[in-house]
Amino acid sequence: MKGKNLLRRIGCTMLCVYLLTTTALAKELVPVGRIVGLELRDNQVTIAGFDEIQGVSAKAAGLLGGDIIQKIDDVVITCAEDVRKALECSDGTVSIQIQRQGKTENLKMSPVITPDGPKLGVYLRQGVTGIGTVTWYDPATKQFGTLGHGVNDGNGKLLQLAEGWAYDARVTAVKKGKIGEPGQLYGTMESPEAVGRLQRNTQQGVFGMCEKGWEGQTVPIATASQVKVGDAVIRSTVSGEGVREYSVKILKIYPQSRDGGRNLLLKVTDTALLACTGGIVQGMSGSPIMQDGKLIGAVTHVCVNL
Per-residue buried b or exposed e for 168-201, using 16+ beta carbons within 10 Å of the residue's own CB: bbbbeebbebeeeebbbbbbebeeeebbbebeeb
| 48: enclosing H helix or E strand | strand 45-50
Inter-residue contact 183 to 3 (CB < 8 Å): no
pTM of model > 0.75: yes
Q: Is the pLDDT of residue 125 over 90?
A: no
- pLDDT, one tens digit per residue, over 253-286 is 887 655 555 788 888 999 999 999 988 888 999 9
- For 155-173, the pLDDT digits (tens) are 678 888 989 999 999 999 9
Q: Determine the Cα–Cα distance for residues 46 and 40; give it in Å rounded to an integer.
A: 14
Largest Cα–Cα distance of the chain, in whole Å?
69
Assess contact for 37 and 129: CB atoms under 8 A: yes
**Confidence at 97, pLDDT banded by 50, 70, 90:** very high
Whether the pLDDT of residue 245 is over 70: the answer is yes
Which pLDDT belongs to residue 25? 54
Sheet holding 264-268, edge to edge: 12-14, 294-299, 288-291, 230-236, 244-253, 264-268
- Sign of the C-alpha dihedral computed for residues 238, 239, 243 and 244 taken in this order: negative
The predicted pLDDT at position 121 comes to: 93
* pLDDT, tens digit (0-9, with 9 covering 90-100), for 246-257: 999 998 888 765
